[in-house]
Homo-oligomer: A and B are copies of this chain.
Amino acid sequence: MGDRSGSFDGVHRRNLARVLGLVHLEGPLSRARLTALTGLNRSTIAALAGELVELGLAEERAPDPTNRVGRPSPVVAPDPRIVAIAVNPEVDAVTIAAVGLGGRIEARERIEVDHLVAPEETARLTADAIGRWRDGELRHARFAGVGLAVPGLVRASDGLVRFAPHLEWREAPIRAFVEEATGLPTAVGNDASLGAIAEHLFGAGRGVDDLVYLNGGASGIGGGLIVHGRPVGGTSGYAGEFGQNRPGIASNGDRRAAGGVLEDEVSRARLLDAVGLRGADEPTLAAAIRSALEGPAGDAARVADELDRQRRILATALANAVNVLNPSLVILGGFLATLADLDPAALRAAMAAQAMPAAADDVDVRVAALGEDRLMIGAAEAAFADLLADPLAAAG
């Protein structure tokens, strides 16, 4: 029963976490604003802020010049020296970044590889990058931990990658490898789930407590859920695998001949195919689709058909999620954002037609906001989680 939540100690820790969490999420805040946001007393906020400064987690600055009467309030900001290391191994590269407590990317490296990286190699690359930064541009930084965004199934309890098809990792104890190599506490998560967390905290889903996030990548469709303002992991942390779902009803009689799942039907590869590309980044693909739609009639019709087909199937999947979860927001990233952007009204209408009217009325569909920083921010968030949950235990 080590939680101590019923005791004074618990209150103090919670309040400390609350203040740190606020400056982490909202950026620098005046003490006055913190008293208003937390409901705590001025004197309490002063004490808590002082304690965070002493722990090296926050800093207090001179008040911002404001044009209002009254004594100016000092500004509490996350200590810029606290950073987390975010790592995202992919098929063609490993991206490593140092992310500050405030959410800023302090440093970033994309290490191109000409072979599939093994888990051990990923750990080594991470340790190397940390070493370089420790001696160089981040000489004064304190490294809070490492967060990995892995494109595959990750068991939350021990950070084991059950299966990452494109990296060809199986039952890889990546957390252990990275902790061993770096000496830092490490968190591991599914890339799409971490993307959902990032969008929820800093992106298109700010302040929204119930949302569904779907991301379309080259490797398939992943996603994540936020319920009650908290990320949903499920029992083992596998939650959010929308790509494996089967939307739409099987036509009567046939025993589900085509075993197609969502990510077989709604796929980036099919879009590339339709416009005759072989690998392109998202803007290129979007531009190619747009120009194809305005090109020769035959091509245009074929591309429009494929877009329409994918949009309808995606709409069914979204409608299913909306019926079950009644979210206030659906966020689409990757090529799903492209698909949505090409005709937002059509997607919305198709979804509304298949979801319960009441639930469909509540839901907003938006495009992801964070771009290529998303996974770095999500992974850093995972790395910061312990610190933010209990600053005293993690930094004291």
Contacts and interface: CB of A to CB of B under 8 A. Distances in A.
A7 interface: yes
Contacts of A252: 258
Contacts of A327: 234-235
Nearest to A7: B11
In the complex, the count of this chain's copies comes to: 2
Interface in A200-233: 209-210, 223, 225, 227-228, 230, 232-233
Contacts of A321: 324
B356 A153 contact: yes
Interface stretch (A123-131, A141-149, A311-319): A311-319
A236 interface: yes
Tell me the interface secondary structure of chain A in the complex. loop
A44 to B, nearest CB: 8
Interface stretch (A105-113, A242-250, A274-282, A381-389): A242-250
A239 B15 CA distance: 32
Given A40-B6, A324-B245, A236 B362 contact: yes
A156 B265 CA distance: 36
B239 A326 contact: yes
A359 B238 contact: yes
A241 B323 contact: yes
A15 B237 CA distance: 30
A210 B261 CA distance: 24
Chain A residues touching B, range: 35 or more
A355 B319 CA distance: 19
Interface in A153-203: 153, 155, 162-163
A76 to B, nearest CB: 16
Nearest to A15: B6
A27 to B, nearest CB: 21
Interface of A: 1-8, 10-11, 14-15, 18, 36, 38-40, 44, 153, 155, 162-163, 209-210, 223, 225, 227-228, 230, 232-242, 244-252, 254-261, 265, 312-313, 316, 319-321, 323-328, 354-356, 358-359, 362-363
Q: Which A-B residue pairs are the 3 nearest by beta carbons?
A: A234-B326, A1-B39, A248-B250
Given A241-B323, A247-B320, A320-B320, 14 more contacts: A6-B11, A8-B8, A225-B324, A227-B228, A228-B232, A234-B327, A235-B327, A237-B326, A239-B324, A239-B325, A241-B324, A245-B320, A246-B316, A250-B313
